[in-house]
Structure 1
């Protein structure tokens, strides 16, 4: 059985260069995959375990702990977009306490909890540095996706569906001045069908596009 140091080339194109024990990758080693990804770190019983760095072909880099071949423990991932997550992981997903720093300067901290009902994501309660609070579902990239509630520091509240961190799907947005929009969203803007209730009693029920009334609709004035 392989023991000591050696190079192994697999038929799928992967190449391992590192230490072996009793025929398994164990110790320190580097493995490069055919898809452009690569791992440099510790191994145990043929799997990534211990401390290591995993690089994706798209530019994302994870530096931290692994267990049984998956990201688990504490670690930092830097995405190609410039976003950074630092915190706890379990089975390759955010789980536990963590801080997510967005490339645009937003910093959020909170507690992630994986939930099989929402796929490779989970539920989270996040506090932004500016005072905004998000509670709801997220995907494996840490983006808000699914159902959630965002409470803004200025008093606005959105409750509904999200996709890739933006309001998308069905949701209710309550403004601090008592305006309420209940309807469809796309890429963070009112789009589709929806009802907007103004603080003076006026109501618009109809179509929207890019955040503005557009298409067919009915506008009822409080005056009658």
Structure 2
């Protein structure tokens, strides 16, 4: 399919086209925009700012008192205890004055240099780390990648998170929800040749309910698991054929009904994308086969009934009657009953049209929100507002 980094495989009008290719790697930045502040916006040191350490002056003031105290203790025999007490008190007062001077000097230096700024009740402004500028916190940004891809939308912790638009270079894009740099939630993915998916995602893969329309007119609507059709769904082809039933790992598997473009219809069991097990095949010309199948051919016991009522029963091998038996033979009757039961169960399978329609509507809403976020991102980029990757 289009827009994938894995090798493209030509689409065929069979269930094999429902094998969902691995989605391309999701954006991990290869190169980012330079966000350096202009020279006239970078903070400069005020001319009158003190160049010495704020604690240097109080240290000089307290030095004589410290020397006096040391001298007093050295010659304490010549001074009474009252003098020692007064000297100790003087030193304590000097220490308190020095501490207060240090705090005052630090606050004054911080105010002059602009290195510390407080914002109370104004959380939409921050100090730009490493850029020397103050800018608004914005959630939306524009991200360019080395391979030519572009993301426009919401960022969180350096990854695409929220709503956004990712444009593959010349190959289409994605509009919708993001979690940790991967498609997650609802979204719309399109490719240059016209293919489009609308629905749910999980961890970068189609998962949940959604519809895929191929550029050649084929399509699938139903359940997805791990990027492949899995569960109940409907496959339609541009030639008019249609399959409604169960899928597994991208192919028809389980019970289902296939309406062929020539008017034939089969209801019964599938295995590995082929008619396999028990089922009923009704031809457009009125003929009918009820019985056992193996890889798309009549194999085992069954009965072929012509439109004029003539019957051929017995054991079949590679589509050819090998051992003719009466229609009343017990083995033949068991095979016919199993085929009719499988056909009935296939026709009674529950449809998932409502779930698919809801997923498509949610995907359209997510795509609209992503386009709005993309517009905001472009506007922020034009206004010079940058999203902090750490926020």
Q: Judge same fold: TM > 0.5, yes or no.
A: yes
Match status 1:156 vs 2:281 = no
State which of 211, 218, 230 in structure 2 corresponds to 1:95.
230
Question: Map of 1:20-99 to 2, 5 A cutoff?
Answer: 20-34=155-169, 36-99=171-234
Specify the SS of the correspondent of 1:156.
strand
CA 1:160/1:18 → structure 2, altered by over 3 Å: closer, same or farther? Answer: same
Q: C-alpha displacement at 1:25, in angstroms?
A: 0.4
Check conservation: 1:19, 1:25, Cα contact below 8 A. Answer: yes
What's 2:256 paired with?
A: 126
Kindly provide the CA deviation profile for residues 43-71 of structure 1, in whole angstroms up to 9, marking residues without a partner as x: 11111011111113443211111111110
Specify the SS of the correspondent of 1:11.
coil
Separation of aligned partners in 2, 1:45 and 1:70? 13
Structure with more relative contact order (C-alpha pairs < 8 Å, separation 6 or more): 2
Separation of aligned partners in 2, 1:33 and 1:77? 19
Kindly provide the CA deviation profile for residues 108-147 of structure 1, in whole angstroms up to 9, marking residues without a partner as x: 3222233xxxxx5462321246752152245xxxxx35x7
More helix by share: 2
CA 1:25/1:76 → structure 2, altered by over 3 Å: closer, same or farther? Answer: same
Larger Rg: 2
TM-score (norm 1): 0.61
CA 1:67/1:155 → structure 2, altered by over 3 Å: closer, same or farther? Answer: same
Separation of aligned partners in 1, 2:228 and 2:170? 21
Q: Tell me which moved more, 39-48 or 94-103.
A: 94-103
Separation of aligned partners in 1, 2:218 and 2:252? 19
Check conservation: 1:178, 1:198, Cα contact below 8 A. Answer: no
Specify the SS of the correspondent of 1:40.
strand
Check conservation: 1:3, 1:21, Cα contact below 8 A. Answer: no
Match status 1:11 vs 2:146 = yes
Check conservation: 2:167, 2:174, Cα contact below 8 A. Answer: yes
Instruction: Provide the aligned C-alpha RMSD in A.
Output: 3.5
Match status 1:105 vs 2:240 = yes
Separation of aligned partners in 1, 2:215 and 2:197? 11
Instruction: Note the residue ranges of structure 1 that are not aligned, 5 or more in a row.
Output: 115-119, 139-143, 162-166, 184-194, 201-224
CA 1:3/1:148 → structure 2, altered by over 3 Å: closer, same or farther? Answer: farther
Separation of aligned partners in 2, 1:127 and 1:93? 20
